[in-house]
Amino acid sequence: MDTMTKLQEISFEIIANAGEAKAFAYEALAAAKEKNADLYEEKMNKADQSINEAHKRQFELLKEEANGELKDVTFSILVVHAQDHLMCVISTIELIRELAEIHLKGLQ
């Protein structure tokens, strides 16, 4: 597989997994609003699994580039978008955790 095809494939995997994580996190927040702690935990676990998979794929790219395994790497707006999407979703998940705590435990 050539480098550009590999970059595109991994970028789409990062985007898809991060998007899935975001969807699960918002489902978890909805459960927290309903005070359903068990469903919240289930959805957040799924969000964590998905974001971890996205992060794993990102790390794969970083490792291969650091080891000189990616030949003829050129700028790719798709890779930039994947990175941006991943980081935004990570921030969203952290914010949802904070909001969910308010909903589940109430204001202290």
Task: Tell me whether residue 103 is one of the annotated catalytic residues.
Answer: no
Catalytic annotation, pick one of 55, 81, 85, 103 = 81
Nearest residue to 36 (alpha-carbon basis) of 24, 46, 27, 23: 27
Residue 12 to residue 7: CA distance in whole angstroms? 9
**Chain position carrying tokens 């202290």:** 108
Residue 85 to residue 99: CA distance in whole angstroms? 21
- The dihedral over CA atoms of 17, 22, 27, 28, expressed in degrees to the nearest 10, equals 100
- Give CA separation, 44 vs 15, 39, 69, in Å: 18, 8, 35
Active centre residues (catalytic) = 81
